[in-house]
Amino acid sequence: MFWMKKNTSGCHKALPDHIGIIMDGNGRWAKKRGLPRSAGHKAGAINFRKIAKYCSKIGIKYLTVYAFSTENWNRPEEEINYLMRLFEQYLKEALSDFEEENIKVLFLGDKMAFSANLQKLIDEVEKSSQKNTGMVLNIAMNYGGRQEVTEAVKKIAVELENKKIKIENINEKLVSEHLYTAGQPDPDLIIRPSGELRLSNFLLWQSAYSELIFFNLLWPDFSEKDLDRAIDEYASRNRRFGGI
């Protein structure tokens, strides 16, 4: 493949280290088929596992997926309850998956809004995978980019108040060190299926120089071949980071 890290001649190609995916379109996928929205969310969860495994297989080092935003609490209660049950079911099933694939799992967002049982499962998944040395999978749940930056500012303010830092110490690097993704590289590539052309509060700080690729298809239909296409497009771009 064009984007594989190393070909037979030993030439390295441009495979992104960090990919972000906004998993959008589950409800519309179900509606198009005359199914309840819950069927779309289930199909989306199944596809998430498939794409995550594929990213690990081809050598992606970090994958961040947008699973549930801070704004998603505004959805109907019935749909939210189903999503919470789906999260619990998935995490129980995924424990062995992550171990087999050597994937390290982290959760980005405010976990305290979830049920005690779901919080326990989240902690269990993080602890059981923390020694894994393969791909890092960030699952953004009850996550919002503005919320993340706000929380980082609060932490920095506390350190300033306690005289652990000085005002002149506050810079972009310090802010990054207080984000959920501290210690990780910013996403090289952000992919959004569903036909929407916006970030929707996803990794706002980290995506300053990310390459953005949008697909006019719904998340449950997003395939490994579509990911290949996105990586091919990414590899063809000239990333100047503000330079010439």
Instruction: Please list the active-site residues.
Output: 24, 72
Residue with tokens 């694939």: 101
| One-letter-per-residue 3-state SS of 71-84 | HHHHCCHHHHHHHH
CA distance 20 to 62: 8
Contact (CB, 8 A) for 103 and 129: yes
CA distance 93 to 89: 6
User: Where do the H-state alpha helices sit in 33-131?
Assistant: 37-58, 77-101, 116-129
Element (H, E) at 211: strand 211-214
Rg of the chain's alpha carbons, rounded to an integer? 19
